[in-house]
């Protein structure tokens, strides 16, 4: 997992969630009667480094790999795991490339794919009566590009109209050209879909709001970031809807209070972002699968994972078999920002999911 660099804000809390899960498992006897040892090496948000440290961990005896939460950064770790017939799981990599077809039969992601993430918000928008949209796609990584693609696919299939798909590159810190094109439209869209992530995401939304564009803004799980809520505040943090992996409340999962108390006992405070839960869930999925398989052997564990349904803090999950890509069957958690604070709208499964 990446503890430094651009991927760290997502991976670091997932690692803390995994560490909590290991502690709780060991209190109950570990896995298959053996103590669980979790070792992390910093991938440094660099694909080459991720692949190298994954190989080192495997050489040191790792029986499973938790890979960074993005295809570009996590893929190299999963490829190394597959080469050694070891199961790998990414907590929240949502690209449809993250599965067995691109990364081999031992690779899984705990996340819904962008096919689900894009379709869920497209259907939400259409049900709200919004028929026209302006899309801005961050071109820096596969995640943002494929998320826009599947959103557009489903929105247009429903009968919606995308006025234009604009582009942006993370790190520019200048949204003036996109703003000008939006303001020059002959007709205002019903909403704006922005597929991007922090830190530039906050600047993009603030630029819209500071220039009088109060249209609803819709996006994906990268919006689920306390730094975004803080940057927007009550002044700019309204009419923003996104889908993500979970919500810090009993509304989203009845066992959340016990998770929150365990987190506080270990880390001194309650969790303030959802990204810890997927890391926790990865360890619990591996534990249940190894127990069912009666082994840590990669072939036996992956077959167990393909055959089970898991009730997780991040939603109920099952996977297709390796021949079908290990496609995750998972709901999306819809959230709305109101006065800069996240509010749970519910779990949703799209009526139709685009083909990956």
pLDDT in tens, 83-135: 999 999 999 999 999 999 999 999 999 999 999 999 999 999 999 999 999 99
Domain residue ranges in the chain: 8-111+251-325, 115-244+333-348
- What confidence score (pLDDT) does residue 284 get? 98
- What confidence score (pLDDT) does residue 6 get? 87
- 125 phi/psi in degrees, rounded to 5: -60, -45
- What confidence score (pLDDT) does residue 141 get? 82
Sheet architecture: strand order including 64-66: 64-66, 87-90, 107-109
- What confidence score (pLDDT) does residue 260 get? 97
Q: What is the mean pLDDT of the chain?
A: 96
- What confidence score (pLDDT) does residue 292 get? 98
> Tens digit of pLDDT for each residue in 40-71?
999 999 999 999 999 999 999 999 999 999 99
CATH (one of 3.40.50.11720, 3.40.190.80, 3.40.50.720, 3.40.50.2300) for 8-111+251-325: 3.40.50.2300
State the pairing for strand pair 315-319/309-312: antiparallel
Residue 206: pLDDT band (50, 70, 90) is very high
CATH code, 115-244+333-348:
3.40.50.2300
Length of the chain: 356
Residue 20: pLDDT band (50, 70, 90) is very high
In the predicted model, is pLDDT for residue 211 greater than 90? Answer: yes
In the predicted model, is pLDDT for residue 305 greater than 90? Answer: yes
Kindly state the percentage of the chain with pLDDT values over 70. 100
Identical fold for domains 8-111+251-325 and 115-244+333-348, yes or no, is: yes
**Minimal CA–CA distance to 53: which of 77, 78, 73?**
77
């Amino acid at each position: 997992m990446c503890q430094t660099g651009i991927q760290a804000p997502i991976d670091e809390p997932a690692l803390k969630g995994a560490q909590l899960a290991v502690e709780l498992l060991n209190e109950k006897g570990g896995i298959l009667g053996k103590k669980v040892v979790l070792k992390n090496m910093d991938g440094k948000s660099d694909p080459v480094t991720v692949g190298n440290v994954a190989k080192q961990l495997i050489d040191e005896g790792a029986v499973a790999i938790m890979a960074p939460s993005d295809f570009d950064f996590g893929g190299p770790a999963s490829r190394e795991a597959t080469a050694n017939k070891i199961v790998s799981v990414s907590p929240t990599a949502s690209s449809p490339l993250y599965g067995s077809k691109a990364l081999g039969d031992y690779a899984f992601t705990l996340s819904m794919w962008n096919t689900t993430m894009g379709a869920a918000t497209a259907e939400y928008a259409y049900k709200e009566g919004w028929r026209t949209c302006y899309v801005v796609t961050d071109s820096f990584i596969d995640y943002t590009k494929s998320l826009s693609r599947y959103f557009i696919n489903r929105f247009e299939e429903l009968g919606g109209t995308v006025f234009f798909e604009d582009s942006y590159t993370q790190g520019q810190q200048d949204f003036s050209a996109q703003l000008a094109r939006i303001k020059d439209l002959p007709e205002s869209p019903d909403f704006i879909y922005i597929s991007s992530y922090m830190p530039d995401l906050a600047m993009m939304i603030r630029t819209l709001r500071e220039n009088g564009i109060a249209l609803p803004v819709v996006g994906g799980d990268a919006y689920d970031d306390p730094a975004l809520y803080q940057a927007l505040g009550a002044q700019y943090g309204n009419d923003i809807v996104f889908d993500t992996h979970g919500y810090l409340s009993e509304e989203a999962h009845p066992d959340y209070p016990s998770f929150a108390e365990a987190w506080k006992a270990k880390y001194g405070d309650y969790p303030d972002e959802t990204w810890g839960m997927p890391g926790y869930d990865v360890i619990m999925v591996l534990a249940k699968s190894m127990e069912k398989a009666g082994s840590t052997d990669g072939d036996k564990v992956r077959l167990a994972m393909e055959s089970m349904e898991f009730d997780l803090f991040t939603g109920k999950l099952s996977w297709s078999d390796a021949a079908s890509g290990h496609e995750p069957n998972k709901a999306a958690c819809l959230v709305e920002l109101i006065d800069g604070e996240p509010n749970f709208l519910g779990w949703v499964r799209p009526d139709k999911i685009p083909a990956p």
